[in-house]
Amino acid sequence: MSNRPGVGDAMPDIALETPEGGSVKPSDFAGRKLVVFFYPRDDTPGCTTENIDFSRLAPAFAKAGTALLGVSKDTPQKHRKFAEKHGLVAPLASDAETGGLSDRLGIWTEKQNYGRTYMGMVRTTYLVAPDGRIARIWDKVKVKGHAGEVLAAAEAL
């Protein structure tokens, strides 16, 4: 875990697949602030709330010069349906590849629930400065009020 990038380190520049079939990577946002929020799964209660909250605040993030990107291991097709169903405007990307961005960040990890062990995404948010360095990390995010807290940090950066 010690090689996990922290505050002040460069955000790993690993491409993610977009629902439109293209790709996006952190360096595409160079010169702007970027919020990358990783969440476990499309269309689950916490993840839906988190995505709706970020989408609701998208105009304020834009005003603060900050791009948004929601990331999970779900397929691009699932992301497209999820966004349409909930009217999401914060862009989504798929980190389905083994060795992808969430693996590199150390947040795709072994989890335990009711005695069952499985691989899963730790809900984590990164605020990336315009120079591509990680400015702030929120680990094991609690959804309620999170998007607003991230917005305040982005405005202050």
pLDDT digits (tens, 9 = 90+) for 36-78: 999 999 999 999 999 999 999 999 999 999 999 999 999 999 9
pLDDT, residue 6, reads 96
List the alpha helices (DSSP H) in the chain.
45-56, 58-63, 76-86, 101-105, 146-156
**Tokens coding 154:** 């982005």
3-state secondary structure at position 138: strand
Please indicate whether residue 47 is annotated as part of the active site: yes
**Tokens coding 117:** 């062990």
Residue 142 covered by a domain? yes
Residue 7 covered by a domain? no
Separation CA 32–CA 44 (nearest Å): 30
pLDDT, residue 1, reads 44
| pLDDT digit string, tens, across residues 75-127 | 999 999 999 999 999 999 999 878 999 999 999 999 998 999 999 999 999 99
Of the pLDDT bands very low, low, confident and very high (cuts 50, 70, 90), residue 30 is very high
Separation CA 132–CA 114 (nearest Å): 39
Instruction: Provide the CATH number for the domain around residue 123.
Output: 3.40.30.10
Residue 23 covered by a domain? yes
Residue 6 covered by a domain? no
Number of domains in the chain: 1
- Count of beta carbons in the 10 Å neighbourhood of residue 90: 22
- Count of beta carbons in the 10 Å neighbourhood of residue 101: 23
Predicted TM-score of the model (pTM): 0.95
Residue 128 covered by a domain? yes
Residue 8 covered by a domain? no
With 70 as the cut, is the pLDDT of residue 2 above it?
no
Residue 4 covered by a domain? no
Boundaries of domain holding 142: 16-156
pLDDT, residue 98, reads 86
With 80 as the cut, is the pLDDT of residue 14 above it?
yes
pLDDT, residue 94, reads 98
pLDDT, residue 96, reads 82
User: Which of the 8 DSSP states describes residue 44?
Assistant: S
Whose CA is closest to 153, among 132, 128, 133? 128
Annotated active-site residue in 24, 47, 101, 128: 47
Whose CA is closest to 69, among 109, 6, 15? 15
Residue 63 covered by a domain? yes
CA distances to 37, 39, 69, 95, 129 from 26, rounded to whole Å, are 12, 17, 9, 13, 11
